[in-house]
Structure 1
């Protein structure tokens, strides 16, 4: 009988001892003041390292490039919110080209570097072409789903070219 009494008493203590406390009414709490700053402070940019855009705008030896960029344009894909880029290029060298590596820099509507295919491109994207391009021949290539926010193409250039005779040209 003693066991049943102890078990019953401890059960009642657990049930009534673990009751919830009453929440305080709103009238008894102190108000919290939050200051909201709606003024946009532009981020300070470090000028110690050259930007990717500046690097693209400096021609380096792209004037001697065996590939001439004829045209480039952005288009919206029919099946997604990503944009495609089409680049038209020409072999302006005296040798046949076997492969080309291209790079391009794009910005969004806020003059910021556009995201790339993987959302961390910082404006710079790349693409490769690996088919024969004879001397003086013009061709084009479209890269699909390369950006969601690119609004304009700043510059397109070839940075690595492999010729059919095994020689290579590289942008320096």
Structure 2
């Protein structure tokens, strides 16, 4: 935005001594270049969003996860239109788990990335729990994401798990 303002200021200074016709030609060129910039930005955003969603739909490596997400849902906050996320999960390993890091991806009603609690990337969110869970036991957690537009969770998964014996499992993202 600063570059555009600087460019407009310089353009204005150089165009003050030009004829009216010359000024409108430059103005037209500037407006055309701004339109192209906006289209390029929208295209890049679209490509990033589709690749982010694709990474969550790719289940490579999840079969080795010690945590199985059995259910994920959006729950409405009390006295608000915001939604939070609730995950049900099970320890399917043979070891006691001390801590789990989760990540999720969600969309709004228009199939666009929703606000899922991550301030930098729409569609993505994450949380953790440090409540121990024994082998073959199930548990659940709720994370406050305060989403105003989330409609559907596309995917939720554990990406890092710390066991009580000190070992750590990580989802490999190639």
TM-score (norm 1): 0.70
Residue equivalent to 1:114:
114
**1:47 and 1:86, CA in 2 relative to 1: closer, same or farther beyond 3 A?**
closer
**Does the CA-based 8 Å contact 1:103-1:124 persist in structure 2?**
yes
Residue equivalent to 2:98:
98
**1:52 and 1:137, CA in 2 relative to 1: closer, same or farther beyond 3 A?**
same
CA deviation after TM superposition for structure 1 residue 165, in Å: 0.2
Residue equivalent to 2:59:
59
**Does the CA-based 8 Å contact 1:102-1:159 persist in structure 2?**
yes
> In 1, distance between residues paired with 2:121 and 2:48?
21
TM-score (norm 2): 0.69
> In 1, distance between residues paired with 2:133 and 2:108?
32
Query: What pairs with 1:37-76 in structure 2 (closer than 5 Å)?
Result: 43-45=42-44, 47=47, 51-76=51-76
**1:47 and 1:149, CA in 2 relative to 1: closer, same or farther beyond 3 A?**
closer
Q: Deviations over 1:105-141 (max 9, x none)?
A: 0000111100133554310100100011000000000
Gaps of 5+ in 1: 1-40
- RMSD across aligned C-alpha pairs, in angstroms? 2.1
Of structures 1 and 2, the larger Rg is shown by 1
Query: SS at the partner of 2:81?
Result: coil
> In 1, distance between residues paired with 2:145 and 2:110?
20
**1:131 and 1:104, CA in 2 relative to 1: closer, same or farther beyond 3 A?**
same
Residue equivalent to 2:27:
none
Matched, 1:159 2:159: yes
The number of residue pairs the alignment matches comes to 131
Residue equivalent to 1:140:
140
**Does the CA-based 8 Å contact 2:97-2:162 persist in structure 1?**
yes
